[in-house]
Chains A and B, each alone.
Chain A
């Protein structure tokens, strides 16, 4: 992962735009420590009032699926249309649900 080793470690940035809404991945930053990671995230991703709260996570702490696992993880759900809510009739007056 570490191609250019004169860089600070990488962190993933998650932003919450308003109280109660989910934290969403915004991108990544490089930083030497936790405090710097938060500040760099703030300066890089919230300059235009995008956030109310920030998470930063060391990139190597993120556990991710790999390409090899894609088929067995995700393909089985392809033909399970009955898991989708399309077959339920919407009651009248709930157009905006």
Chain B
């Protein structure tokens, strides 16, 4: 595989994570548990959309074809999306959304820290800028986890339930394929094995403070970075892409 093709695909993977999770967080708009939290969730959504846009624009540049960032977001099918499975999981209740955010943001933070050392300037630039936002997402979600765990019996149960449900999707965050191997060999990316230990440590640290259990690994599902998804992504895309599909080229 050529480096350029690998980098293009890698940008899509990073961008798709942001776009899909951003769309999920946008679904909270006007449904937040309190006004301030409604703003917090949609702020996170906008951060993620912004990150996705930066990466899609870069992908367009790499592709040297007549496509736009919007085409990448709105005209690809489910199997052409490379996001992790965890970000496409439906929102569930507030605890479920926060646990999903926490598990992903912990990963994204380590990812950005590692990509800051990429020898690709666009990627390291992206990572440096995104890290500030991702750190805040981690802070926001991890503090909620600690409140849930030490709150009422109900908040603790809901957080634990979410953790148990989402845990099987976390291995998928660390799956590598040919793209990774190519990019690692040229110093653009790094081995995801290197951050797995740190991710585990950071997650455990918060769970311990929250008095929540680390779930058992079972029914592990993987496939996101190879375009294999759970049934939820297709439904989400059909709603998100509806306008561009029905009115191609429609502008705001």
Contacts and interface: CB of A to CB of B under 8 A. Distances in A.
Interface stretch (A29-37, A77-85, A89-97): A29-37
B143 A43 contact: no
B162 to A, nearest CB: 19
A44 B39 contact: yes
Contact of A32 (B35, B40, B147): B147
Contacts of A40: 36-37, 39-40
B36 A47 contact: no
A43 B36 contact: yes
Nearest to B34: A30
B43 interface: yes
Contacts of B37: 40
Interface size class for chain A? Answer: 10 to 19
A32 B152 CA distance: 13
Main DSSP-derived SS at the B contact region: helix
Nearest to A29: B36
Interface string A24-66: 0000011111011001100110010000000000000000000
Contacts of A43: 36, 39-40, 43
A44 B139 CA distance: 16
Contacts of B147: 32-33, 36
22 contacts: A7-B34, A8-B34, A29-B36, A30-B34, A30-B35, A30-B36, A31-B36, A32-B147, A35-B143, A36-B143, A39-B40, A39-B139, A39-B140, A39-B143, A40-B37, A40-B39, A40-B40, A43-B43, A44-B35, A44-B39, A47-B39, A47-B43
Given A29-B36, A31-B36, A40-B40, 10 more contacts: A30-B34, A30-B35, A36-B143, A36-B147, A39-B40, A40-B37, A43-B36, A43-B39, A44-B35, A47-B43
Interface of A: 7-8, 29-33, 35-36, 39-40, 43-44, 47
